[in-house]
Structure 1
Amino acid sequence: MQPTPEMYQRAYHAYNNKLITMTYRAWFKYHTRKRQKRINLLRKMEEAANYYQTRKIRVHMVKWVQWYRFRKNRHSSAYQIIQTVYNMSLSRMVFEAWHNVMLDARRTREYFERIERGELDGEDYSFYLRGGSRVDISLLPRKVAVKIFSYLNLSDLSQCSLVCRSWNTIIGTSSLWSQVDMSAVKTRVTDRTVGLLLQKCRPYLLHLNLRGCNRLQKASFIAISRCKNLQDLNLSECSGVNDGIMREITEGCHILLYLNISYTNITDATLRSLARSLDDSLRTSSVVADHIGKVIHITSDGYKNIANGCSNIQTLYVNDNNTVRDDSIVALASRCLNLRSVSFLGTPNITDVSVKAIAQHRKLQKIRIEGNNKITDASLKYIGRWCNDLHHVYLVDCPRLTDASLKSIATCRNINIVNFADCIRISDNGVRVLVEGPSGPKIREMNFTNCVRVSDISIMKIMQKCYSLVYGAFCFCEHVTDAGGEMLGNMFSMISLDLSGCSLTDTGLAALGNNVHLRDVTLAECYQITDLGVQKFVQQCRELDRLDVSHCTQLTNGAIKNLAFCCRRLRVLNLAGCVQLNDLSLQYLSGVCHYLMTLDISGCFCVTDRALKFLRKGCKRLKNLTMLYCRGISKQMYQKLAIKIQFVSWSDDPIPPNFGPGFDYLETIHLEQKSSDPETKNNKKTKSKIGVVENQGDGSISAYVLETQILGADNSRHEMSIDTEAALLISPHASGSSLQAAHA
């Protein structure tokens, strides 16, 4: 059978397809092999690159490690060198400081020995004095210079402005004149002074204090009413203030936030004008603080007026006012729902009703009451129940308060200040409950003066719970003994401490010295303290700033010698009634304590003029010197001291039998007010003299000598006449404040 053409065609197509398939497979296999070869090559190239990079990093790492070790060794060597140099420098500085202290101590000892041998003359005193550096304030940055000048009073600023043009420019800064206090120079302030001052600083005056400026008339107060930005105004004790004046001021000063009108001649009309003249915004959103004390013409209607006009009062002071009663305070409290601070010092007619009305609004934070026989434990019960934010409690001389009062406020969580002085019913149980409450660790100030039932048990609880206590006063707590002093010595947060009249001996005083942070210590009338206790105490507390050892009758010159040697930064020292001290004590102080500013040697009748020669040359910073009942000091020396010391008081009377911490031997400065009494001018009984000198700072001296006559055994009436040898250049009010500051 022969193949047909169709068969040849089909055979051809089959053979052709087979060749195509074989060729495609061969090509695909070749292509796959080439692609795999390329992939392998890329993988090998990547591995090679990674290997190269790793190799390069390893080489650089080795080099960097070598460099790092080299630098580390160099740094270590340099650090050792620097450390060696630092240690050598520090050792040199320590050695030099120790050497200087040693030389200083040796010079002091030699100086003391020369004093004791009597080799030093009061006129030859250039041995220990050192000069100080001078700094030109004008070269300091402007803010620093302004800050320095801000600590000066108005009189000092006026004098400094005359030094040079640069000082005058600095003093002209507006921030220095936003607060003006004229109370320090109240005896010399006149209408012309106030007018010129307010003309200069009216746009930026915010705070103005005119307390006690009795020479001001209507012109000054009209000028004050033009100070539209005034926010704080103190007009207390200004005899020229009346209802008309206050109407002018309240109509002009619309943004007053603080107003003190105590001891003025205002009536209810002033309070009506005050409430009417205030802006609506001030009534609803601002704080108004009224000092209303000794204003006998204000009735309950006046308080209602001020409450209606100023419903957002937050601070209220009603001090030394015998006419205020519960109805007035209740009227205020009914409208003033935001009262946070109240003060009723010397306001005896306030009872529990007023305290309840104030406390029920639950916002009271500060309460001050003094000399009130009507306040009972019920008041503290209301406060403890409603006032959880209470942080300041001052309840002095309220004899009806007992331990229940302390238990009532023990639930408050934020109490910082506690003062229950002269509350004689307070005992250890009340103190224990108070300090164990939630406020115990937060209490910073505590005063239990004359709380005779408080003993060492209270001190132990205070030491265990009051970690933040900074100030403590336990005066005349007879049951506080050496054990209490030892526990107080372990309270290292304590800075100021008053243990006057406590049963403290040398052992307790030495243990008290363990607290090296003490700066202010009062040990008046601690009769059992001797030189040994003072020596051990001051050897540990070398940073004392103030010390009161008045009427510690066993102290001698040895105690003052150790005190002067150890506490060279002492600024305030009270030695009144230390009858065994003589000239050596003042010579020790004048040779070392060059920072001394206040000194009281009243009753030290063994001190003579010779010691004051050293004091005048050694204590250049001394500003207050009290020398009452010092018969060994002459009037001539008193007048010499008055030239260099700002406030000096002196008398050569015999020491009164009742002379002690509670004896007001500065009362005679107020006798000038009775000098016009005709019944006392003809009395010729016992005479005494008290001299008072105030250095005005401009080179002039204001002095007067009070010659008093004491009538009867109760010392209730006096007479004052001006000595012909002294000029009366200063008002008795200014000198009285000066003497009181010196005594304090």
Structure 2
Amino acid sequence: MGGACSRKRDQLDNEDGLRRGVSGRYCKSGSSKWLATTFSRPVVEIQREKGKCPSLMELCTYKIREDIDNYGSFSMLPRDLSQQIFNELVNSQCLNDVSLEAFRDCALQDVYLGDYPGINDNWMDVISSQGSSLLALDLSSSDVTDSGLIYLKDCPHLQALNLNYCDQISDRGLQRISGLSNLTSLSFRRNSAITAQGMSAFSGLVNLLKLDLEKCPGIHGGLVHIKGLTKLESLNIKWCNCITDVDMKPLSGLTNLKSLQISCSKVTDFGITYLKGLQKLSILNLEGCPVTASCLDSLSVLASLLYLNLSRSNLSDDGCEKFSKLGNLKVLNLGFNDISDSSLIHLKGMKNLESLNLDSCRIGDDGLVHLSGLQRLKCLELSDTGVGSNGLRHLSGLVNLENINLSFTVVTDGGLRKLSGLSSLKSLNLDARQITDSGLAALTSLTGLTHLDLFGARITDSGTNYLRNFKNLRSLEICGGGLTDAGVKNIKDLSSLSLLNLSQNCNLTDKALEMISGLTGLVSLNVSNSRITSAGLRHLKPLKNLRSLNLESCKVTANDIKKLQSSHLHHLVNFRPE
């Protein structure tokens, strides 16, 4: 019946947990800067809108979804077809404990139910009936308990298991998965019931490549049970403030470790000495740990280290000369540390550096001269620093720069002219009150911009004329209060926009919605704190791709939006007022 239809199992291996659901346990809410959801619209609906012809398999799957109550079993179908039907029901949130029964003994390979409502132990019998075929299982945010995990003994080939945010699983449940020796990925984020003693169940998972225990506050002393997992490549114990230097010792023999996340723990410079033998380590996150520049002595011997996060630690100018030993780094985060311009001279030798974060450090114009030779730099974070217009001249030669954040700096309109030659620039954050229309005029040569944040800038209707030069913009935020409907006329032709934030512009009316009704690619729209009314919602009907809509402090009610959602905006999953 065709090729493999299931989603890739490496979706469970997302390092940053970007797969999000709609329950609120994963999602940030209330901000147009964040929008993500697990559940998507059926492919056949999207293709119909685009004028494409869906495949025969897609048509069959869509029809079965509509008539799901008429089917008692799919076990006679080829696996790839039953897998696609299962995925379709999950994506459309049409799967329930009754329709689930039709998938008994279907030999499914992937069962992704992360953040799906209503899952409990009663579902586990059908899930386990997939037997040795089941390779990946995501039950995150479910009500599955320790008792439900006993069913997994029938799935000996399981490779990836995600039990994030499963509040009812404890040490007892860990024992029930201890025999799944084929597991390569295991995730238990935010579980307060797992203890060091229970972690003894991990000792037999000898094929484990990735282990995620983020926000598990009771695991101090338990890492001794993973010291024999020599294949382990990724370990995440972020936000486990119980972790101390003693916990680092068992990690010293995990020589295949490539990624280690221990941010917001109690690990000090001494604990870092245990990592000297991890020669394959390329990612190390020490954000919020009480380390100083002294730890750089230990880190300098890690030849593979490419990513280092030391933000919110105890760094000061003292000892920063040791940064010169980390010449291979590509990404360095020093944000929110007590370092000044004098420390930046020690970064001059980092010729491979592609990303540098100096957010909220005590730096100004004088320090930027030391960055002028970092020709590979693509991303530079200077938010909330003392950097002003004079310092920007040192950045004018960084021709590979793609992303720069100058929010809450003292850069003025005149200084922005020094960025006009950075033709590679794609993302620019200028969230600062002193930026005006004149500053926007100085940037018109940056035609490659895809993201422009002018959140707090004082842009007026006249200034929006310059936006016509940015035809590639996908994200635009202008929230300084200076826009009226007249200014929106210059935004309506930016057809590539997927995110538009015009909040805080209190003079915008329903006419503004009418003018942006042609931006059919919009996924997120924020026009809160304006004069928009319920009558204007009709103009949003063409925005079929809209997932997030914020109209707080407008003359619009949640019921008004729900009616629009049910009749036209079927993809809308996040809206305010709610």
Q: TM-score range by the shorter chain?
A: 0.7 to 0.9
The offset of 1:634, in angstroms, is 3.5
The offset of 1:306, in angstroms, is 1.6
Counterparts of 1:487 and 1:391, CA distance in 2: 26
SS in structure 2 opposite 1:356? helix
* Superimposed CA distance per residue, residues 446-479 of structure 1 (whole angstroms, 9 cap, x where no aligned partner): 1000113354634x32332x34211111101222
> What amino acid is the match of 2:411?
L
* CA-atom RMSD in angstroms: 4.3
Aligned to 2:474: 623
SS in structure 1 opposite 2:416? helix
Aligned to 1:202: 80
Pairing 1:393–2:260 present: yes
Counterparts of 2:137 and 2:224, CA distance in 1: 25
Aligned to 1:94: none
Counterparts of 1:313 and 1:323, CA distance in 2: 22
TM-score, structure 2 length as denominator? 0.74
SS in structure 2 opposite 1:393? strand
Q: Call closer, same or farther: CA 1:701–1:451 in 2, change over 3 Å.
A: closer
Pairing 1:307–2:171 present: no
Counterparts of 2:275 and 2:397, CA distance in 1: 37
Aligned to 2:121: 243
* Superimposed CA distance per residue, residues 643-678 of structure 1 (whole angstroms, 9 cap, x where no aligned partner): 843222332289xxxxxxxxxxxxxx9xxxxxxxxx
Pairing 1:707–2:568 present: no
Aligned to 2:141: 263
Counterparts of 1:255 and 1:428, CA distance in 2: 50
Aligned to 1:531: 389
The offset of 1:733, in angstroms, is 8.4
Q: Call closer, same or farther: CA 1:379–1:547 in 2, change over 3 Å.
A: same
Contact 1:609–1:633 (8 Å) recurs in 2: yes
Given candidates 304, 312, 317, the residue that maps to 1:450 is: 312
Aligned to 1:595: 448
Given candidates 284, 287, 290, the residue that maps to 2:161 is: 290
* Superimposed CA distance per residue, residues 222-262 of structure 1 (whole angstroms, 9 cap, x where no aligned partner): 576676463x4432111143333343233136423332211
> What amino acid is the match of 1:315?
S
Counterparts of 1:570 and 1:173, CA distance in 2: 43
Unaligned segments of structure 1, at least 5 residues: 1-152, 178-187, 655-668, 670-686, 710-719, 738-744
The offset of 1:428, in angstroms, is 1.6
* Superimposed CA distance per residue, residues 42-74 of structure 1 (whole angstroms, 9 cap, x where no aligned partner): xxxxxxxxxxxxxxxxxxxxxxxxxxxxxxxxx
Pairing 1:325–2:187 present: no
Counterparts of 2:349 and 2:465, CA distance in 1: 41
Aligned to 1:371: 239
The offset of 1:422, in angstroms, is 0.5
Aligned to 1:634: 484
Aligned to 1:431: 296
Counterparts of 1:476 and 1:387, CA distance in 2: 31
TM-score, structure 1 length as denominator? 0.59
* Superimposed CA distance per residue, residues 380-434 of structure 1 (whole angstroms, 9 cap, x where no aligned partner): 01211x3232221110111x211111111113222111110001x2012122222
The offset of 1:608, in angstroms, is 1.7
SS in structure 2 opposite 1:592? coil
The offset of 1:194, in angstroms, is 9.9
Contact 2:338–2:362 (8 Å) recurs in 1: yes
Counterparts of 2:260 and 2:327, CA distance in 1: 19
SS in structure 1 opposite 2:482? coil
Counterparts of 2:79 and 2:474, CA distance in 1: 31
Aligned to 1:612: 464
Q: Call closer, same or farther: CA 1:224–1:419 in 2, change over 3 Å.
A: farther
Contact 2:226–2:250 (8 Å) recurs in 1: no
Q: Call closer, same or farther: CA 1:333–1:530 in 2, change over 3 Å.
A: same
Contact 2:79–2:107 (8 Å) recurs in 1: no
Aligned to 1:518: 377
SS in structure 2 opposite 1:599? strand
The offset of 1:338, in angstroms, is 3.5
Counterparts of 1:258 and 1:584, CA distance in 2: 54
Q: Call closer, same or farther: CA 1:695–1:555 in 2, change over 3 Å.
A: farther
The offset of 1:594, in angstroms, is 2.8
The offset of 1:703, in angstroms, is 6.8
| Seq. identity, % | 19
Aligned to 2:437: 583
The offset of 1:495, in angstroms, is 0.9
The offset of 1:290, in angstroms, is 1.7
Contact 2:348–2:373 (8 Å) recurs in 1: yes
Matches within 5 A, 1:24-103: none
Contact 2:332–2:355 (8 Å) recurs in 1: yes
Aligned to 2:367: 508
Aligned to 2:32: none
Contact 1:586–1:614 (8 Å) recurs in 2: yes
Given candidates 256, 274, 288, the residue that maps to 2:152 is: 274
The offset of 1:328, in angstroms, is 3.0
| The 10-residue stretch of structure 1 (263-272 or 369-378) with the greater mean CA deviation from structure 2 | 263-272
Aligned to 1:340: 209
* Superimposed CA distance per residue, residues 176-222 of structure 1 (whole angstroms, 9 cap, x where no aligned partner): x9xxxxxxxxxx999549999x9999359699978995833227655
The offset of 1:301, in angstroms, is 2.4
Counterparts of 1:333 and 1:725, CA distance in 2: 48
Counterparts of 2:549 and 2:288, CA distance in 1: 37
> What amino acid is the match of 1:421?
E
Contact 2:285–2:309 (8 Å) recurs in 1: yes
| The 10-residue stretch of structure 1 (205-214 or 497-506) with the greater mean CA deviation from structure 2 | 205-214
Aligned to 1:568: 423
Count of paired positions: 498
SS in structure 2 opposite 1:307? coil
The offset of 1:724, in angstroms, is 6.6
Contact 1:427–1:451 (8 Å) recurs in 2: yes
> What amino acid is the match of 2:366?
T
Pairing 1:402–2:262 present: no
Given candidates 337, 345, 356, the residue that maps to 1:486 is: 345
Counterparts of 2:42 and 2:540, CA distance in 1: 13
SS in structure 2 opposite 1:540? coil
> Greater relative contact order (Cα 8 A, min sep 6): structure 1 or 2?
2
> What amino acid is the match of 1:390?
L
CA radius of gyration, larger in: 1
Unaligned segments of structure 2, at least 5 residues: 1-39, 507-523
> What amino acid is the match of 2:311?
T
The offset of 1:636, in angstroms, is 7.3
Contact 1:191–1:217 (8 Å) recurs in 2: no
Contact 1:190–1:216 (8 Å) recurs in 2: no
Counterparts of 1:653 and 1:347, CA distance in 2: 43
Counterparts of 2:259 and 2:540, CA distance in 1: 38
Given candidates 555, 559, 575, the residue that maps to 2:411 is: 555
SS in structure 2 opposite 1:502? coil
Contact 2:359–2:381 (8 Å) recurs in 1: yes
Counterparts of 2:561 and 2:282, CA distance in 1: 53
Aligned to 2:6: none
Q: Call closer, same or farther: CA 1:651–1:254 in 2, change over 3 Å.
A: same
Contact 2:205–2:229 (8 Å) recurs in 1: no
Contact 1:311–1:336 (8 Å) recurs in 2: yes
